[in-house]
Structure 1
Amino acid sequence: MFQTLYNYFWWDRLWLPANLTWADLHDHDGQVFAKASDLYVTIPFAFVFLAVRHLFEMYVATPLAGLLNVKEKVRLKATPNPVLEKFYMASSKHPKQTDVEALSKKSGYSMRQIERWFRRRRNQDRPSLLKKFREASWRFTFYLLAFIAGMTVIADKPWFYDLHEVWKGYPIQDMHPSQYWYYVIELSFYLSLLFRIASDVKRKDFKEQVIHHVATIILISFSWFTNYIRAGTLIMALHDASDYLLESAKMFNYAGWKNTCNNIFIVFAAVFIVTRIIILPFWILHCTIVYPLEMYPPFFGYYFFNLMMVILQCLHIFWAYLIIRMAQKFLTGKTVEDERSDRDETDNTEGEEEKAVAKATAAAGTKNGPLTNGHPILNNNHRKTE
């Protein structure tokens, strides 16, 4: 049965144009072609990335955080209580009023004490500012180096200037060593992100990030073993063009450099819109949808590849909407929040006690004048932009 499924999966008609077989992609006459088995190396490489990341975060990102004066907010810890801890872990982190009343009877705490305990317990689970800075530093370093490497790989290739060259001679296109390593490094990195996604900072677009990582891994893998390498290198370099800007903006945000963060974010927003909302759909997608039909009738692999591209493009539109909203707030002088991905799911829980105090103070302060200086950036705290 396994052999049957294997044969069906690798059926030539699924992945290659008509009248072509996998035998046409065997190495011959000094030409080397991409093979699916080449990608097995990305699994151990992904674990190498995890090890390198750990060392980078410990010996590079942490000292850098100290130099940039990244400070942790002191959080009050919840007093150990087996009854409340059991409910927190097994039932809900946000107990309802009836739950609070029942827990009050079981634990001997007042309802107000229980509400305070759950606030503090939720805050304990929030990722620390240092953890966020480390992650942003690691991603910034990789995306910047990957973008430089990607441009080095494709800048001297004819298909970088003429997209018709992407399909010239397809699929009988030999592979360059630089393309091999570019693919292996990119795929290994995204595998490492997927392996760490459960322990990394969970943001409000967590589901979209999972879909993005999975779609990217499938797209990179598929483009490799069906020899869509020329298109694949263009797509990967295009994605890396803006990511390092976002991660650097996050780093400055965590360090409290608000003006620098906001300025970099505006540059990031412009690059993101140009590369993923203009170039990707109107040049690259046009290249992968229209140009192949000039040579071959559509086949399953053609539809599959472009379906993955459309999924990625939908995610880009979703993120572009959030990014534009945030950029508009900055340009109009409003408080800036990271609408895209850097605001935690638990944002609304941290500082609940402080909010209550602030409300009371504000009510009393209406007789004594305003409590803030009116500057949107200076009044913006980390909780708003993280």
Structure 2
Amino acid sequence: MDLLPDLWRQEYWLPPGVTWEDLERLPDSERPRPKDLLIALPLALGFVAVRCVFERFLAPPIARSLGVKNRFQSTAAPSPQLESFYTHRSKQPTQSELANLMVLCGKTQRQVESWFRVRRNQDRPSQTKKFAEAAWRFFFYLSAFIAGLTSLINRPWFWDQRECWRNYPFQPLERAHFWYYMLELGFYGSLLLRISVDVKRKSAKMFNYGAGWRKTCDSLFVVFAVVFLVTRLVIFPSRIIHTTLLLSMEVFEPFAGYYFFNVLLMVLQALHVFWAGLIIRMVCKFFKGKLEKDERSDEESDAEAEEEDKAKEEKMDQGGDCYWEKSKETLNSKLSVLTNSCVLTNLTYHRSSVANREHKAQ
């Protein structure tokens, strides 16, 4: 029970010589409080509601204007046994499970595999759904960037980072910055509420779903790569980490919170370096004309996967036909050898018997 009070000891989170009582000198409207985090929950629910309205009424006309069309998807034939296995056990049965399903349903292996392939394709999201989710994030991130830049660009600490530590920690919290952080927290809370049903897509990919927008998608990828590399590998370490790690020491001595938050920033920078390496690989492939997918993302579960399944099935069929042809040729050659051997044996026996009869007659 004593762990929680010890966790909030002022020696951990505040510079030496500063107490929690000292922060109470600021008016309530100018300092953050722990209970302010509760505002994020209704904001998250509000974002979910606004998103539903956006995806239902605004995204479809935008998708049509960009030429986004849903691909035709065939429907799997009704099969209670296969549907029960697909729903409750696995979407990709093993060879032993396929054998059991063949006996249970009275189907061939190819028919069972084809049923599972078609059934998996039914669960894949449509192009318009993927576009709507990518468009929602695109519009939010664009709005958040504009709002954040507007609220910071005329502040002195945006241009001179030493201003971040003037009168620290007795600094009033402006309402614009307070609501900016609350809205950001509410947005990411809404993503957590929808994480089980969302499709993993990047915002720039919405142009990839439309017909004739390939060049726009490629241009956005180049812009994204340049912005990511400059902001994460140049601006973030030279401005943010330099400010928190070095410039802050001009104002106060190190304490536990100083080390804790700077370690978190270092971990984030390590992730930036890792992601930058993947992006550089993508850029190299892009200029070589071999870029197929975002290496940071999960594989696309769309029509490309369907075509891949079909190709595998055709390859198996071709492999089976090829195997049968080879087996047939081998069998024919063996039969030919056996036939020739029998004919030669009969001729030899016939000649020897004729020679014996002639010898006896003489």
How far the C-alpha of 1:165 sits from its partner, in A, is: 1.4
Q: TM-score, normalised by structure 1?
A: 0.76
Q: CA deviation at 1:43?
A: 0.9
Tell me how far 1:78 sits from its aligned partner.
1.9
- The answer to whether the Cα contact below 8 Å between 2:63 and 2:210 also exists between their aligned partners in 1 is yes
Q: 1:80 to 1:336 in 2, by over 3 A?
A: same
C-alpha deviations, 1:353-374, integer Å up to 9, x for none? 54258869x99xxxxxxxxxxx
Task: Assess, with a 3 A threshold, how the Cα gap between structure 1 residues 316 and 344 changes in structure 2: closer, same or farther.
Answer: farther
Q: Using the alignment, how far apart are the partners of 2:308 and 2:96 within structure 1?
A: 20
Which amino acid in structure 1 is aligned with residue 113 of structure 2? Answer: E
Change in CA separation of 1:100 and 1:357 when aligned onto 2, cut-off 3 Å: closer
Confirm whether residue 250 of structure 1 aligns to residue 205 of structure 2: yes
Q: Which has the higher contact order (CA 8 A, sep 6+)?
A: 2
Cα shift at 1:262: 0.4
1:25-104 aligned within 5 A: 25-28=23-26, 32-104=30-102
Partners in 1 of 2:166 and 2:179 — Cα distance?
A: 22
Return the offset for 1:342: 6.5
Match of 1:298 among 239, 242, 254: 254
Structure 2 unaligned regions, length at least 5:
320-362
SS in 1 for 2:306: coil
CA RMSD after TM alignment? 2.6
Q: Which amino acid aligns with 2:33?
A: K
Distance 1:30 1:138, change over 3 A: closer
Q: How high is the TM-score relative to the length of structure 2?
A: 0.80
* CA shift in 2, pair 1:143/1:137, >3 Å: same
Tell me the residue number matched to 1:315. Answer: 271
**Alpha-carbon distance, 1:298 to partner:** 2.5
Does the 8 A contact of 2:233 with 2:273 survive in 1? yes
In 2, are the aligned partners of 1:252 and 1:261 still within 8 Å (CA)?
A: yes
The structure where helix makes up a greater share of residues is: 2
1:335 deviates by 4.1
Please show how residues 225-240 of structure 1 align to structure 2 within 5 Å: none
Q: Secondary structure at the match of 1:351?
A: helix
Which residue is 1:24 aligned to? 22
Give the 3 Å change call, closer, same or farther, for CA 30–89 of structure 1 in structure 2: closer
Aligned to 1:379: none
CA shift, 1:288, in A, is 1.6
Name the aligned partner's letter for residue 318 of structure 1. F
Amino acid at match of 2:149: M
Q: Which residue of 2 aligns with 1:148?
A: 146
Question: 2:282 is matched by which residue type in structure 1?
Answer: M
Deviation string, structure 1 residues 209-257 (Cα, Å, up to 9, x no partner): xxxxxxxxxxxxxxxxxxxxxxxxxxxxxxxxxxxxx62x211101131
Aligned residue-pair number: 318
Cα 1:64–1:154, aligned 2, differ >3 Å: closer, same or farther? Answer: same
1:291 and 1:86 map into 2 onto residues whose CA distance is 63
Report the secondary structure of 1:340's partner residue. Answer: coil
Identity %: 48
Deviation at 1:291, TM superposition (A): 2.2
Distance 1:151 1:32 in 2: 21
Q: Is the contact between residue 61 and residue 137 of structure 1 (CA under 8 Å) also seen in structure 2?
A: yes
Q: Which residue of 2 aligns with 1:324?
A: 280
Task: Find the aligned partners of 1:345 and 1:306 in 2 and give their Cα distance.
Answer: 38
Partner of 1:285: 241
CA contact (8 A) 1:71 1:255 kept: yes
Corresponding residue number in structure 2 for 1:139: 137
